[in-house]
Structure 1
Amino acid sequence: MKVKRMKRGKLLSIKVKSYQRYSTKYTGYEYEQRMKQALYRKGFSIQEIERLLTQLKENESTF
């Protein structure tokens, strides 16, 4: 239970930091791989990471 609370609390900040770090340096496949590596190291599941990347792609295409 404690792990889930900590994970929820830091989830957004970790995602935002990773996005800011890698979106400016990398594009396409390399960007996705860097994001996956970083978030996986932080303990996120592959399903959560894939969902995040899908959401980011959808949000970028609306601009």
Structure 2
Amino acid sequence: MPKVKTNRSAAKRFSKTGSGQIKRSRAGKNHFTGKKASKSIRNLRKSTLLSSADMDRISKILPY
């Protein structure tokens, strides 16, 4: 059985935690931030966990 390759674009966007969950960064921070409040931009810095609906898709392309 050959090894499964890691999707490199996904590896740069997601990381696995110690308990096996997948961590992601929040969207909406790159542009159009002038109309957003400073508090909301500051909250976008924090990472969050991937939803359970997306776990199956992302865990297939991040096997290791």
Could you tell me the TM-score, scaled by structure 1's length? 0.29
Q: Whose helix fraction is larger, Structure 1's or Structure 2's?
A: 1
Greater Rg by CA: 2
Q: Whose strand fraction is larger, Structure 1's or Structure 2's?
A: 2
Could you tell me the TM-score, scaled by structure 2's length? 0.28
